[in-house]
Every structure is written in structure tokens, then in C-alpha cells.
Amino acid sequence: MENLIIKTIEKYRNEIINFSDELFNNPELGYKEFKTKKLIIEELSKYDIYVEKEYLETGFQVSLGSESPHIGLIAELDAIPTKDHPCASKLDNAAHTCGHSTQVAIMTYVVIVLKELNYKGKITLFYTPAEEYTDLDYRNKLIKENKIKFIGGKTNMLEMNLFDGVECVISLHSMGSEYDFGYNSSLAGFKYKKITFIGKAVHAAISVEDGINALNMFTLFNSGLGMLRETIKDNNMTRIHGILTKGGDTINSVPSEVVYECYIRSLEYDEIEKISNKLDTIAKHCSYALGGDCKIETQDGYKPLKPNRALSNVIYKNILKFTSEDRIIKDEKSIASGDIGDVSYEYPTTQFGYGGFKGSFHGKDFKIEDNENALIKPIKIVVLSIYDLYNDKNLMEEIKIEKN
């Protein structure tokens, strides 16, 4: 069976690469992936695979088979703003510099291959919008219009119970070129915070004593933030990183409104909550100390990814068929985040990494360098792993026992 699987995938090599290139050249931001969706539906329809359900502006799913186990697959649709990338959208700088275009091509052809092989187990491929936590003004507008409830796509999908009935979830994501593949990786979770420091504007030269300087409040807050960092445990890989998105209105006035936005990341969700509360305390008291006030907005980002090792082991066994052990990074704890983490809290989940890229992730020089490693091998790994789960029911029992 293994030889037949590999032979079938090889038959589609050119189609896979061409489809991946087409997606890469048509990037769109989250909840705006309308052309991407159209391209995928057109590709699937060539093989008589049709949309089962649509949701969240651009999200949708397709299914095959009916027998246990019911395996969920993830394909993330969105790009990320990347100024000056050669393929960046002229509209909003969207570019596939996180590699989601390859992920979509991989999982689309996993389903196409399984259909040709007449696979009997149930597969649902979830085409999920808006994994990247960006373009927040647009997404908050969708929230106000009751079109979505949360910023991230999968978080909304969980709220809508779209994963109900799935017994495990397999995802994959692009990674750097130092290794060919990554196995049983963890991701950090995060919260997003927006802190508005509120002062009182007066002429900056004439009556400065009557003003309340919001920029000074931020400066004091930033010093407190630096002191807080000294108390953070290293083993949770906790990070606080932010930018000043508004520093005042005019040089000639004492700043009356200053806006700071940040992420709090950690491998442990409880740590994120704790640091978030401490940040609130620092912001409030630094504002009050200088006679001002502050407004704090906090949004849940994503939970940490907690991989299911039993499921990861199934993937690992098949990764070893296509590379040597020294080319695999194992049990990496990454400070990056993704809404796949939220899924892992509810369902047995793994996300393995695959290389084949050059340049900086989210950078203007990012590109696909090796189609074999970035497309063809991952399809083989996923299809072989799905057959392993179908043929050996004990594997699914181990996966479920670990989750419980």
C-alpha cells in the first residue's frame, strides 16, 4: 500500500507545485481570502470534491469517507502584511511569508489522493481563515457586525462546534531551513493588550504646568515594565513585546493621548493571565502617579499548543522515511503562536513542521526554495500517517488515553 500511496502522489507532482505557486501569488488577509477560496474550490472540483459547509466569511470544509477514525485536517488560508515582498498585494501588502499557501496545497492534495485511493475512513479538511493575528481594525469591525465573535478563525470555529465528532487533528506548518522537519513542537499562547494613556493637552511651551503629559505616563510605565521582566521565569519562555502606536497629536502640545499595544506570550496560559494582570496594575498606577488615567483593552489571543505525543509519534515514524534523524528537530518549544493551540485544548492535536524555504519568515525575502521538502514529502507523510491510524485502531486508543 505504501508504494501505491507514493506512486499516486508522484503522479500529481506538477499539479501540486502549480497550485502552490498560484496560491503564493494571490495572497489575502484573514476573512478576506475570497480569491483563495475560489481557487481551492476550482481545484477540488476537478476531482469531484465539493464544499460540505461554509462559515466565517471565507472558511469552509470538505469531507471524505465515513468509517472511524474521524480525522480532522487543517489548511490555513490567510497571508500576512509584508511590505516590499515581490508578491505582496498592492491593496494591503498581504504576502504568503508564513507559508500558508504551501499548507493549503499540501492538505488539498492529501484529500485528492485519499479520494483516488478510495480511502474509507472519515476525513474532514477544515479550510480555516484568519490564523494570523493582524488587521485588527477590520476584524473588530466584523465583531461589531456580529459576523465573527473572536479575532482568530479556529477560535470561532470551536465556538461554533465545527470540530464536533473529530477524533484527532493533524496540522502542519512551514519552518526554517536548519532542519527538514519538526516533530511534537509546542507553541506559546498570547494575549493582546491596548493601553491608552490619557492626560491633558496644553501649549507645550506656555502653560506646560497646567497639562498632564500622557507620554510621560507611558515612559514611567515602560520603566515599570522593564523591572517586571526581571521577575519573569525563564522556563515558560514568557515574552512581552509591544509598540507605541500613538505618541501624541502635535509637537506643540503636551500629549494628551498615547497608545501602547503589545502581546504577552508564554508556553503556560496561567502565566499569561498573571502577567496581564500585573501589566494592568503598572499602567494604572503610573497614570495615577502623574495625575492622568488610562484605558486598558485586553483580547484573548491564542492558547499554547499542547501536542499529543502519541499522535506526534505516528507522524514521526513516517517523517523518518523521508529524511535522517539528525535533520529532524524534536520537542521544540517555540515562542511563536497559532490558533491551533486552542484546538489542542479540546481535541488530540499535533502540528509538525516542514522546511524547504529561504529568507525570513514574515520578511520581504521569504520564498519557497525546495518544492520536494515544502510540498511533496509532507503530503506523503500525512497520507501515510492517516492510513496508519485507520489500519491500527490501537493507535487511536493511545491518542485518546493521552488526551484524557
- Residue 175: the pLDDT is 95
Of 264, 190, 263, 268, the residue nearest 236 (C-alpha): 268
- Residue 403: the pLDDT is 77
CATH 3.40.630.10 fits 2-188+304-403, yes or no: yes
Q: How confident is the model at residue 257 (pLDDT cuts 50, 70, 90)?
A: very high
Looking up cell 514574515 gives 362
Q: Coil, strand or helix: which one is 394?
A: helix
Query: What is the percent of the chain with per-residue pLDDT over 70, rounded to a whole number?
Result: 100
Q: How confident is the model at residue 235 (pLDDT cuts 50, 70, 90)?
A: confident
Cell of 314: 505516528
C-beta separation of 12 from 117 below 8 A: no
C-alpha to C-alpha distance for 24 and 17, rounded to whole angstroms: 10
Which CATH fold topology does 189-300 show?
Alpha-Beta Plaits (3.30.70)
CATH 3.40.630.10: which residues of the chain? 2-188+304-403
Instruction: Report residue 368: phi and psi, to 5°.
Output: -85, 125
Q: Which residue has the higher pLDDT, 207 or 384?
A: 384
C-beta separation of 390 from 120 below 8 A: yes
CATH 3.30.70.360: which residues of the chain? 189-300
Q: How confident is the model at residue 204 (pLDDT cuts 50, 70, 90)?
A: very high
pLDDT digits (tens, 9 = 90+) for 240-256: 999 999 999 999 999 99
Laid out side by side, the sheet with 293-300 consists of 239-246, 257-266, 189-198, 293-300
Please give the full DSSP string across 129-194, using - where no structure is assigned. Answer: ---S---HHHHHHHHHTTS-SSSSHHHHHHHTTTTTT-SEEEEEEE--SS-SEEES-EE-EEEEEE
Cell of 359: 529568507
Q: Coil, strand or helix: which one is 227?
A: helix
Of 147, 137, 185, 129, the residue nearest 311 (C-alpha): 185
Global pTM value:
0.93
Q: What is the mean pLDDT of the chain?
A: 96
Region 163-183 average pLDDT:
96
pLDDT of 404 > 80? The answer is no
Region 35-52 average pLDDT:
98
Looking up cell 507522524 gives 315
Q: Is the dihedral of CA 239, 277, 257, 251 positive or negative?
A: negative
- Residue 234: the pLDDT is 79
- Residue 189: the pLDDT is 96
Q: How many CB atoms lie within 10 A of CB 154?
A: 28
Q: How confident is the model at residue 82 (pLDDT cuts 50, 70, 90)?
A: very high
Cell of 1: 500500500
Region 277-292 average pLDDT:
98
pLDDT of 345 > 80? The answer is yes
- Residue 207: the pLDDT is 85
Region 213-223 average pLDDT:
98
Q: Coil, strand or helix: which one is 96?
A: coil
